[in-house]
């Protein structure tokens, strides 16, 4: 019965990675979309056999099993928007518009997950909050034993506390020191704030692992790889 009723048109287009639901709704209001030759409305629903056209051009609908999620190694400071050089390297057949899942702040970098499937991106976003995430943090100088203890409480400025699994020194050069921090559900912004609350001058935060998915040593900056089906299933299981 659900398949017969179909999906709302804006949801179907977001699922295909062609636009966000809001963008698709704007296309509908502007009269740019038709379904089986009829002008679409905000209440239009579509099924697999229906023909969708945008500005008269057929929207090709690929099977669900071809949906792809990519693990990208983003350099600090590199943008992750529609015109990003990083996303431009992804295969065209994977989609036209990519959504980043819990992206790191632009000033930082490391592991990023992107997909052209809006619905899948939303599911992954929910799962991220339950996943253990690992970060490499570079600061000027070293943290004292007391500062490490305070940092491990996970206390943030907004009055909540993160679940910190571990925080260990990881070497460094000159006056710069690296720390490896593992936490459940932490964002890059949260991690930077944790260190800055201890008076540390943070110069870099890199995400290196998200759940069971890690940046491999062989994956250079600016490169992306397709997430395997078992890796994707493992991430979604957390949600």
Characterize 76-113 residue by residue with b for buried, 16 or more Cβ atoms within 10 angstroms of its Cβ, and e for exposed.
Answer: beeebeeebebbeebeeebbebbbbbbbbeeebbbbbb
What is the architecture, at CATH level 2, of domain 65-128+218-237? 2-Layer Sandwich (3.30)
Note the pLDDT of residue 2. Answer: 43
Both tokens assigned to 26: 């704007």
* CB-CB neighbours of 28 under 10 Å: 21
Q: What's the pTM?
A: 0.74
Give the pLDDT score at 66.
44
174: left (phi over 0), alpha (psi -120 to 50) or beta: left
Helix axes 118-128, 229-237, angle to 10 degrees: 60
| Domain spans of the chain, in order of start | 2-61, 65-128+218-237, 132-210
* pLDDT for position 23: 86
Average pLDDT per run of 10 along the chain, which is 239 residues long? Answer: 69 77 90 94 90 90 64 93 83 78 95 89 90 97 95 92 95 94 94 96 97 93 92 85
Q: Cα–Cα distance between 127 and 236 in angstroms, integer?
A: 6
Give 214's contacts (C-beta < 8 A, 6+ positions apart): 111, 134, 208
Q: What is the pLDDT of residue 1?
A: 35
DSSP character for 85? H
User: How confident is the model at residue 211, as a pLDDT?
Assistant: 94
Check: CB of residue 69 under 8 Å from CB of residue 232: yes
Phi-psi region of 106 (alpha: psi -120 to 50; beta: other; left: phi over 0): alpha
Domain 2-61, classified CATH 2.40.50.140, yes or no: no
CATH superfamily of 132-210: Pseudouridine synthase (3.30.2350.10)
Q: Which two tokens stand for residue 171?
A: 């070497």
- Measured CA to CA in angstroms, residue 26 lies from 19, 52, 83, 173, 230 at distances of 10, 16, 21, 52, 36
């Amino acid at each position: 019965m659900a398949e017969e009723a179909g999906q709302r048109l804006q949801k179907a287009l977001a699922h295909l990675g062609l636009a966000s639901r809001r963008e698709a709704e704007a296309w509908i209001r502007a009269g740019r979309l038709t379904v089986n030759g009829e002008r679409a409305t905000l209440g239009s629903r579509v099924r697999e056999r229906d023909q969708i056209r945008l500005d008269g051009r057929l929207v090709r609908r690929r099977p669900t099993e071809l949906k792809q999620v990519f693990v990208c190694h983003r350099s600090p400071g590199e943008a992750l928007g529609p015109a990003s050089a990083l996303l431009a390297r992804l295969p065209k057949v994977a989609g036209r518009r990519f959504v980043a899942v819990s992206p790191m702040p632009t000033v930082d970098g490391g592991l990023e997950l992107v997909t052209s499937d809006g619905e899948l991106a939303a599911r992954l976003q929910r799962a991220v909050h339950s996943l253990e995430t690992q970060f490499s943090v570079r600061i000027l100088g070293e943290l004292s034993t007391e500062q490490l203890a305070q940092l491990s409480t996970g206390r943030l400025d907004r009055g909540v506390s993160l679940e910190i699994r571990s925080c260990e020194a990881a070497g460094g050069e000159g006056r710069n020191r690296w720390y490896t921090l593992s936490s459940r559900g932490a964002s890059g912004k949260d991690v930077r704030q944790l260190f800055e609350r201890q008076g540390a001058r943070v110069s870099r935060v890199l995400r290196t692992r998200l759940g069971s998915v890690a940046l491999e040593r062989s994956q250079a900056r600016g490169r992306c790889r397709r997430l395997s089906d078992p890796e994707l299933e493992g991430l979604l299981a957390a949600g």
